[in-house]
Amino acid sequence: MKVQIMGYGVVGKAQEFLMRHLEHEVTVYDPYIFPERKLKRDVDVTFICTPEGHVEEALQTLIKNNVEGLYVIKSTVPVGTTKILSEKYNVHICHNPEFIREKHAFDDVINPDRIVIGQCCDAHGQLLFDLYSPLKKPIFVTTSTVSELTKLVSNAYLSTLITFWNEIAELSQALNVSVSEVANITCADRRISKYGTSFFGKPFGGSCLPKDLNHMIDTFKRYGLNPILFEAVRRYNDALRRKVE
């Protein structure tokens, strides 16, 4: 299959690595990094891996240059974005979020826990299903709205776990006990995740968790809901960041 990667940051590099691993014909387009390269028009799929704020601009570039094939947004975007852009430009667009850690992107992209495909139609959903099926990992084909929300929910959950254990660390310090010991004993329960137990007093940061938590909060408010838990997580993390700076 002829695959084009648009945007060559962490996500774009990981997607290129995966597509080459799966033995597809891959080209990369990023005018900021490879100004000499031109867009390929005759491709089967173009993965948009640009920063969130450049997704619509990237889509406009593809349409303006009559790039063939399916357009797939891999960037994390606010819920509803894929559907809105698809209707606005009258083109088929799928959403296919990444679930990679920046420092382990290549390992994560070829050994994913699951693959999520927010399809625009059955035919394009099947195209992406076939593309990823050689990985022999669980593939969930759903709507783009569910796909977009799943990405935000995943990161909001991780942010909440980090904040949970940071609060336990604060209490443990006040009680003069080892938070590591408390965590080890607590996490012996198979129902309880160990994620977040390596932070202990360190706020979450990076390019994804804070941004996606903000998107989650905004989505709640857009539908008239009160994100009490997630706003508390953000307040605590912001205060912790100011404390350790």
57, 29 contact by CB (below 8 A) = no
pLDDT digits (tens, 9 = 90+) for 30-49: 999 999 999 999 999 999 99
Counting DSSP H helices and E strands in the chain, the numbers are 9, 7
Looking from the CA of 197 toward its CB, the CA atoms found within 13 Å total: 15
Residue 71's closest CA among 91, 57, 97, 99? 91
Q: What gap in Å lies between CA 41 and CA 9, rounded to an integer?
A: 22
pLDDT tens for 5-27 read 999 999 999 999 999 999 999 99
pTM: 0.92
Task: Grade residue 206 by pLDDT with cuts at 50, 70 and 90.
Answer: confident
| Dihedral, CA of residue 86, residue 92, residue 97 and residue 102, to nearest 10 | -90
Query: Which residue numbers are catalytic?
Result: 208
The pLDDT confidence band at residue 194, using thresholds 50, 70 and 90, is very high
CA-to-CA dists, residue 12 to 34, 92, 235, angstroms: 13, 21, 32
